[in-house]
């Protein structure tokens, strides 16, 4: 009896457990079916979906006039899905032939067990359409975008370029990458458990969001003028490199930055002849090619420092006037050298300049004069003005990889170091640091930040951010700045910079010839820093000719390049010439009225231009007829002046 009673209790317990288990299972089923059904349905959907990304269109880059300088071109990406390929040999044969790839390269990707394998990106749309029309099972053709640069090599080391993933590599493309990149979209396709697409099943598509646009201060026309002037002297002097920077000294906007030789932005991995030298590209190792590519992409205006030479006398003179240690009428004597401790430091004029006042000293670019006023300033105060004029820190320009100055520490500046520093030797700065300091010296004492970026605009054309840059007043007094403007105008009108003189334009500036390290190797940088109009500087130009052959003096070979650039860009910027009576007489003998070419064909315009000028004719646009012109019809210009035609 006890046994039967025990058995009944066991059965009852088992039954109770079974019923409780059923309640738990039913509860869990209810929970999954009612409360979390959406989440698990989504996870099931994910298991049966294959995702293919759609690249977003990258934001455009514009110059200061709204001209597109970095655009997009529609291309396609060709991919394969292993599980969906029904005829591998046909796929391999067709893709290798059409895409001009090695069959073995295609085979490795076709036979690879993966959800999706990319065969080739940036395929022209025409080629992709051929593949699409073949209807090869397992071959996917997806739309894509490739960066396209309408002006080829123009401002190549400023704009930079993008990689195959549309991310910025160098220049503005990488500096503003977070703005320019869009948000990728995707295509979601339903598949079976074996990875095969389900026929007639609708695709889910998430549209990409295009990137924001960047508006810059770079001016295509000014960049072209500067680049053509740089290319001429680069060829004429067989130089290692020619750099030109054009900037607004009032607010730091950069209108142009040239580094000849440039490279083709649409073929950024093709080495230029200048970089290749005697190397054979086909035999280059990967490491060596990367080294040469980095050299080709390098922007020396930003990434390199140099000894500025006599152009730095602008800073020395400014510091001396601020300190009150020199007056324009102070007298000096230059025998052609100056003894500093145990050193004989020479002037560029071997026989010396003799007796001269301070104004003549800066006009003559006399080293002994500047060594004397450097000694009057003293090392401590000299470094104070270095800092005040922005030479101890980076400029903050919106380009990657900016270098910083290399300066003596105060305790290491003895009499010889102070003497050489006064005329721009024994330390190094970047070209932009020099321009920033010179701008403060002539713009009334405002320390500006050189920059290209102006504003960010969304895909709908609405400005979402105006870019701001640091400015600080009081680097020097207005009186010192006015004196410096007058002194530097005299340098161009009567002194070492007279080859930059252009009638009516009132240019101020300073020449420089700096010997590269190590000394006595015969390698020089000839340069000229100028601004105009001298009374109210609106444009500053720095020309640097690296390792010219033959004559290497800045006043002889760099100043004329700057003069040519000023002559072209000042009228373009609406800065009118202001002639003296004598200049008007001289000018009238060599001027002509510009004909009206608007509405004429390119052929007619070329013929008419050749009839009155031997200058350069620039065509902007792709039309067949002239829409606008510069200079304007009827305007009087030098008989060999250039002409810009804007086409319809």
More confident residue, 578 or 40: 578
Query: What is the average per-residue pLDDT within 440-448?
Result: 98
631: which DSSP letter?
S
Burial of residue 331 (number of CB atoms within 10 Å: 0-12, 13-18, 19+): exposed
Query: What is the average per-residue pLDDT within 39-49?
Result: 50
Query: Of 43-52, 87-96, 222-231, which range is least confident?
Result: 43-52
- Determine the pLDDT at residue 3: 53
| pLDDT at position 188 over 80 | no
Say how far apart CA 503 and CA 480 lie, in whole Å: 26
Query: What is the average per-residue pLDDT within 600-620?
Result: 87
pLDDT digits 0-9 by tens, 459-490: 899 999 999 999 999 999 999 999 999 999 99
| pLDDT at position 45 over 60 | no
- Determine the pLDDT at residue 51: 64
Q: Give residues with Cβ within 8 angstroms of 648, minimum separation 6.
A: 621, 623, 624, 625, 626, 627
| pLDDT at position 294 over 90 | yes
E strand map for 539-608: 539-546, 591-593
| pLDDT at position 194 over 60 | no
| pLDDT at position 198 over 90 | no
- Determine the pLDDT at residue 594: 86
pLDDT digits 0-9 by tens, 381-438: 999 999 999 999 999 999 999 999 999 999 999 999 999 999 999 999 999 999 999 9
- Supply 115's token pair: 């959800």
Minimal CA–CA distance to 612: which of 632, 640, 589, 588?
640
Query: What is the average per-residue pLDDT within 69-97?
Result: 91
| pLDDT at position 202 over 60 | no
- Determine the pLDDT at residue 323: 96
More confident residue, 18 or 536: 536
| pLDDT at position 542 over 80 | yes
- Determine the pLDDT at residue 165: 80
More confident residue, 219 or 280: 219
pLDDT digits 0-9 by tens, 119-161: 998 899 899 999 999 999 989 898 888 899 999 999 999 999 9
- Determine the pLDDT at residue 644: 82
Other CB atoms within 10 Å distance of the CB of residue 594: 21
| pLDDT at position 591 over 80 | no
Confidence at 586, pLDDT banded by 50, 70, 90 = low
Query: What is the average per-residue pLDDT within 359-365?
Result: 96
Confidence at 192, pLDDT banded by 50, 70, 90 = low
| pLDDT at position 199 over 60 | no
| pLDDT at position 492 over 80 | yes
83: which DSSP letter?
G
3-state secondary structure 126-176: HHHHHHHHHCCCCEEEEEEEEEECCCCCCCHHHHCCECCCCCECCHHHHHC
- Determine the pLDDT at residue 588: 61
The CA-CA-CA angle for residues 345, 350, 352, to 5°, reads 85
**Mean of the per-residue pLDDT values of the chain:** 89
Query: What is the average per-residue pLDDT within 18-28?
Result: 79
Which residue of the set 310, 365, 613, 641 is catalytic? 310
- Determine the pLDDT at residue 590: 67
| pLDDT at position 362 over 90 | yes
- Determine the pLDDT at residue 574: 93
Q: Is 601 designated active site?
A: no
Query: What is the average per-residue pLDDT within 227-247?
Result: 96
- Supply 373's token pair: 């006023």
- Determine the pLDDT at residue 2: 56
E strand map for 192-235: 204-206, 213-216
Q: Give residues with Cβ within 8 angstroms of 420, minimum separation 6.
A: 345, 426
| pLDDT at position 281 over 90 | no
- Determine the pLDDT at residue 142: 84
Say how far apart CA 607 and CA 6 lie, in whole Å: 120
Confidence at 52, pLDDT banded by 50, 70, 90 = low
| pLDDT at position 41 over 60 | no
306: which DSSP letter?
B
Residues above pLDDT 70, as percent of the chain: 91
User: Which of 97-106, 198-207, 383-392 has the highest mean predicted lDDT (pLDDT)?
Assistant: 383-392
Examine residue 480 and say whether the peptide bond preceding it is cis (omega within 30 degrees of 0): no
Pairing of strands 463-466, 508-515: unpaired
Say how far apart CA 348 and CA 368 lie, in whole Å: 10
- Determine the pLDDT at residue 46: 47
- Determine the pLDDT at residue 193: 52
Minimal CA–CA distance to 309: which of 423, 416, 432?
423
Query: What is the average per-residue pLDDT within 61-79?
Result: 94
- Determine the pLDDT at residue 456: 98
Other CB atoms within 10 Å distance of the CB of residue 52: 18
Examine residue 644 and say whether the peptide bond preceding it is cis (omega within 30 degrees of 0): no
Say how far apart CA 615 and CA 609 lie, in whole Å: 9
- Determine the pLDDT at residue 37: 62
- Determine the pLDDT at residue 429: 98
- Determine the pLDDT at residue 614: 79
| pLDDT at position 47 over 50 | no
- Note whether 604 and 630 are within 8 A (CB): no
Distance of CA 474 to the CA centre of its chain: 30
Say how far apart CA 204 and CA 510 lie, in whole Å: 65
């Amino acid at each position: 009896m006890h046994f039967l009673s025990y058995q009944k209790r066991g059965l009852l317990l088992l039954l109770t457990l079974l019923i409780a288990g059923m309640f738990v299972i039913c509860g869990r089923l209810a929970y999954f079916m009612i409360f979390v059904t959406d989440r698990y349905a989504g996870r099931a959907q994910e298991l049966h979906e294959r995702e293919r990304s759609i690249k977003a269109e990258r934001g455009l880059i514009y110059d200061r006039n709204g001209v597109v300088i970095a655009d997009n071109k529609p291309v396609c990406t060709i991919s394969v899905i292993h599980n969906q390929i029904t005829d591998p040999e046909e796929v391999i044969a067709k893709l290798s032939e059409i895409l001009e790839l090695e069959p073995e390269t295609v085979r490795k990707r076709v036979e690879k067990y993966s959800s999706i394998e990319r065969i080739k990106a940036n395929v022209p749309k025409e080629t992709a359409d051929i593949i699409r029309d073949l209807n090869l099972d397992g071959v996917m053709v997806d739309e894509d975008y490739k960066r396209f640069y309408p002006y080829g090599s123009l401002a190549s080391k400023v704009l930079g370029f993008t990689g195959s993933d549309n991310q910025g590599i160098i220049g503005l493309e990488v500096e503003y990458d977070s703005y320019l990149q869009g948000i990728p979209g995707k295509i979601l396709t339903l598949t079976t458990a074996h990875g095969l697409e389900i026929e007639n099943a609708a695709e889910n598509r998430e549209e990409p969001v295009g990137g924001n646009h960047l508006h810059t201060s770079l001016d295509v026309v000014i960049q072209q003028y500067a680049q053509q002037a740089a290319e001429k002297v680069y060829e004429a002097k067989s130089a290692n490199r020619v750099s030109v920077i054009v900037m607004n000294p009032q607010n730091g906007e950069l209108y142009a930055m040239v580094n000849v030789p440039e490279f083709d932005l649409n073929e950024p991995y093709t080495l230029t002849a200048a970089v290749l030298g005697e190397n054979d590209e086909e035999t280059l190792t990967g490491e060596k090619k990367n080294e040469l590519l980095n050299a080709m992409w390098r922007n020396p205006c930003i990434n390199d420092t140099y000894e500025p030479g006599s152009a730095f006398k602008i800073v020395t003179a400014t510091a001396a006037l601020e300190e009150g240690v020199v007056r324009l009428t102070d007298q000096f004597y230059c025998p052609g050298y100056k003894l500093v401790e145990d050193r004989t430091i020479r002037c560029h004029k071997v026989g010396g300049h003799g007796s001269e006042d301070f104004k003549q000293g800066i006009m003559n670019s006399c080293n002994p004069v500047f060594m004397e006023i450097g000694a009057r300033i003293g090392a401590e105060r000299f470094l104070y003005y270095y800092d005040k004029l922005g030479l101890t820190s980076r400029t903050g320009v919106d380009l990657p990889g900016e270098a910083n100055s290399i300066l003596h520490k105060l305790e290491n500046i003895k009499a010889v170091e102070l003497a050489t520093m006064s005329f721009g030797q024994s330390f190094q700065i970047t070209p932009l640091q020099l321009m920033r300091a010179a701008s403060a010296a002539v713009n009334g004492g405002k320390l500006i930040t050189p920059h290209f970026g102006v504003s960010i605009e969304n895909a709908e054309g609405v400005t979402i951010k105006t870019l701001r840059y640091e400015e600080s007043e009081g680097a020097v007094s207005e009186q010192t700045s006015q004196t410096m403007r007058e002194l530097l105008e005299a340098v161009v009108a009567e002194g070492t910079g007279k080859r930059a003189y252009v009638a009516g334009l009132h240019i101020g500036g300073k020449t420089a010839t700096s010997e590269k390290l190590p000394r006595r190797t015969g390698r020089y940088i000839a340069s000229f820093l100028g601004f105009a109009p001298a009374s109210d500087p609106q444009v500053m130009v720095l020309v640097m000719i690296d390792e010219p052959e033959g004559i290497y003096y800045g006043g002889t070979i760099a100043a004329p390049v700057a003069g040519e650039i000023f002559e072209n860009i000042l009228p373009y910027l609406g800065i009118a010439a202001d002639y003296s009576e004598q200049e008007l007489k001289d000018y009238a003998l060599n001027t002509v009225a510009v004909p009206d070419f608007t509405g004429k064909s390119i052929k007619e315009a070329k013929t008419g231009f050749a009839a009155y000028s031997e200058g350069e004719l620039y065509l902007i646009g792709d039309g067949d007829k002239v829409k606008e012109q510069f200079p304007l019809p009827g305007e009087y210009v030098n008989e060999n002046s250039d002409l810009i035609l804007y086409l319809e």
